[in-house]
Structure 1
Amino acid sequence: MIMAAKKFDLVIFGASGFTGQFVVDEVCKVAEEENLTWAVAGRNMTKLQKVLNEASNRTDKNLLETPIIIADTSSKSSLEEMAKQAKIVLNCVGPYRFFGEPVVKACIEYGAHHLDISGEPQYLETMQLLYHTKAKENNVLIIGATGFDSVPAESGIMYLQDKFKSGQLTNVESFLSIQTGPAGGAINFATYESAVYGLSNAKELVSLRKSLYSEPMPKVQHRLPKRSGLFFSEEVRKWCLPFMGSDKSVVYRTIRSHFSGGVLKSPIEFFPYMCMSSLFSALKFVMFGVIFNFLCHSSVGRWLLLKFPHILTMGAVKKGGPSREQIDGTSFTMTFVGRGFDSLESMSNGDKPDRQITARLTAPELGYVTTPICMVQCAAIVLKEKDQMQYKSGVLTPGAAFFGTSLIQRLDQHNVKIETVSDSKV
């Protein structure tokens, strides 16, 4: 590893992208709170200057003198120059399956920690397979999924683990509910593009996981009853479907880390779901999912999905991303239902789980408000609390990296709040 003097605590790579501009706003605010130095990076000077000018207007701060680094994923030397100057690179350039690896390699080689907001299991697990050992050797943290994918899910499970600290959490179900205002919601094209390629290459995960994990984890002793594909949840009083994001993949990597590291006495079972506003909405979503899945598995279908996203998603995907009005009118909740043992004695006796805790996380719009909050607070912990982190290097999930840190408290102070709804014996 080549070490160099670090000019900046944080460098936002891809600052001129749709998500990157919101990360700029959040870094501006937190840098002042935490007394951090920072810069923006990307491939186009004019666009980066425009972002800083617009961010100055939004934040009422003069950001025009903010340092700019020119870096491009197609230029190895430019990525290396960026990594030399950064303590942490906040990587906002996706889809990560195409553009993520060169940035990770440069960061490991030049001693910069790397955080991204990927929700792409193939990319995240490939980085762990290829670079975990090298990152540990170079004392570098590579932490993926530090946005909505999958910090809220990881935080909910960490919260429940703390509530079961005298016993053992064994099962968790999460229920995501998104609320939109009169203007509705929209998905940015880059997020949609990642989903298209992720689903079309989902079979990669089978062989990838065999290479990543030579031994299976022990089975959960007390499994939850299997849910149907579409069901009515008594816990949240809504129709629900399996959540197809990366939360399950990321959380199970965390569970494996905690089990092998002795944090858990036994593995945790986790199932994420998404809530629908009505049975009719759920059926429409299922129909769209079938068509989307079919199109993803052929080259012609992928071309259609990527060429005409606005039409094929009935307006849900916009190449310019959601409007400010849509962002401001959107929020979400995640309800976590955790079951487990109140004491290790009852677990060792072979009894059934005897305690159930329900917690609820509430937060603003998920992709462009909550995601920057999560990413920047994760970065702040790496800068301020690295000595207290259980794992100080390697390719990690948020749940493995930030277990035992102030992440939940920090999120609470920045409008991502979690609280106990009920706690009862069962």
Structure 2
Amino acid sequence: YRFFGEPVVEACVENGASCIDISGEPQFLEGMYLKYNEKAAEKGVYVIGSCGFDSIPADMGVLYTRDKLKGTLTAVESFLSVKSGPEVRWFLPCAIHVVADKDNLRKIQNKIGYAPVPVVGAKLKKRRFACYNQEFKEYSIPLQGTDASVVKRTQRYLHTELQETPIQYGAYVNVGGLGSVIKLMFAGMLFLLLVKFEFGRKLLTKYPEFFSAGRFTKEGPTQKQV
């Protein structure tokens, strides 16, 4: 989306059509909000991103929990467990650019000038990098993705526009035992080192299968995966 998504958003807004996509790229989502939010409002259309696995389950899950809970919900944590078969491969280039461009994301958010969302109830503490989850009997790490920012944007809107109680949110992914945590740490350090440099990003983009032991690919999903 960072390379090909904006012309679609621009065309929709200029021609009075709403735009819905499944982007999970924070920089793209925030950038489109910064550039086209006012224009979309003037045209009376909607630009809605992250309408796929990023981040419908998280965003709607928080609202569903709020509606079903008796009382005032102030915080939610989600834990994602991924059970994938041998046919599943993940798309790496998107993650490379998202991580490499984190500084630009902060600049965009500063330009938007989001008002802080007030904390209601006890402040939700962030769990450390790898914590053992007694309920799932495995280790969990913070989920790097759009879920937290999308949920926070929704909660900011509900609080600002509808005066609803904002809900804090934390997203985590279960990774297995201690061995998985150690392997993930080494892989993560290598990934973070390589994405800092153009040469490293080219290597990751060209040989994702090699650097991820076959878990990531530079190709899109196969017909069987779809």
Determine if the TM-score, normalized by the shorter chain, exceeds 0.5. yes
Could you tell me the TM-score, scaled by structure 1's length?
0.51
The answer to whether the aligner puts 1:108 opposite 2:8 as a matched pair is no
Conserved 8 A contact 2:73-2:167: yes
The answer to whether the aligner puts 1:276 opposite 2:179 as a matched pair is no
Deviation at 1:176, TM superposition (A): 0.3
Distance between the aligned counterparts of 1:323 and 1:215, measured in 2?
A: 42
* 1:161-180 → structure 2 map (5 Å cutoff): 161-164=66-69, 167-180=71-84
* DSSP 3-state at the match of 1:97: coil
Deviation at 1:320, TM superposition (A): 3.6
Deviation at 1:262, TM superposition (A): 2.2
Distance between the aligned counterparts of 2:126 and 2:113, measured in 1?
A: 25
* DSSP 3-state at the match of 1:239: strand
* DSSP 3-state at the match of 1:240: strand
The structure having more radius of gyration, on CA atoms, is: 1
The answer to whether the aligner puts 1:304 opposite 2:209 as a matched pair is no
Deviation at 1:237, TM superposition (A): 2.4
Deviation at 1:184, TM superposition (A): 5.2
Distance between the aligned counterparts of 1:184 and 1:223, measured in 2?
A: 41
Distance between the aligned counterparts of 2:94 and 2:220, measured in 1?
A: 14
Distance between the aligned counterparts of 2:218 and 2:105, measured in 1?
A: 28
Quick one: structure 1 residues 231 and 187, their matched pair in 2 at CA, closer, same or farther if it must change by over 3 Å?
same
**Sequence identity of aligned pairs in percent?**
39
Quick one: structure 1 residues 214 and 141, their matched pair in 2 at CA, closer, same or farther if it must change by over 3 Å?
closer
Match of 1:127 in 2: 32
The answer to whether the aligner puts 1:315 opposite 2:220 as a matched pair is no
Quick one: structure 1 residues 171 and 214, their matched pair in 2 at CA, closer, same or farther if it must change by over 3 Å?
closer
Q: Which has the higher contact order (CA 8 A, sep 6+)?
A: 2
The answer to whether the aligner puts 1:238 opposite 2:138 as a matched pair is yes
Match of 1:330 in 2: none
Matched residue type, 2:74: T
Deviation at 1:276, TM superposition (A): 1.3
Deviation at 1:318, TM superposition (A): 2.4
Quick one: structure 1 residues 144 and 186, their matched pair in 2 at CA, closer, same or farther if it must change by over 3 Å?
same
* DSSP 3-state at the match of 1:244: coil
Matched residue type, 1:118: S
Distance between the aligned counterparts of 2:9 and 2:222, measured in 1?
A: 31
Match of 2:149 in 1: 249
Deviation at 1:319, TM superposition (A): 3.4
- Post-superposition, which runs of at least 4 consecutive aligned residues in structure 1 deviate over 6 A? none
> What is the alpha-carbon root mean square deviation over aligned residues?
1.7
Conserved 8 A contact 2:206-2:218: no
* DSSP 3-state at the match of 1:154: helix
Conserved 8 A contact 1:175-1:236: no
Q: Deviations over 1:345-395 (max 9, x none)?
A: xxxxxxxxxxxxxxxxxxxxxxx4xxxxxxxxxxxxxxxxxxxxxxxxxxx
Q: Deviations over 1:223-260 (max 9, x none)?
A: 13442110111232221111001111111111111110
The answer to whether the aligner puts 1:193 opposite 2:93 as a matched pair is yes
The answer to whether the aligner puts 1:217 opposite 2:117 as a matched pair is yes
Matched residue type, 2:198: S
Distance between the aligned counterparts of 2:83 and 2:96, measured in 1?
A: 24
Higher strand fraction (1 or 2) = 1
Deviation at 1:291, TM superposition (A): 0.9
**Count, aligned residues:** 226
Distance between the aligned counterparts of 1:162 and 1:175, measured in 2?
A: 20
Structure 1, unpaired ranges of 5+: 1-95, 328-367, 369-426
* 1:24-423 → structure 2 map (5 Å cutoff): 96-164=1-69, 167-181=71-85, 183=86, 185-188=88-91, 192-265=92-165, 267-323=166-222, 327=225, 368=226
Conserved 8 A contact 1:295-1:301: yes
Could you tell me the TM-score, scaled by structure 2's length?
0.93
Conserved 8 A contact 1:200-1:297: yes
Distance between the aligned counterparts of 1:202 and 1:217, measured in 2?
A: 21
Quick one: structure 1 residues 225 and 319, their matched pair in 2 at CA, closer, same or farther if it must change by over 3 Å?
closer
* DSSP 3-state at the match of 2:30: helix
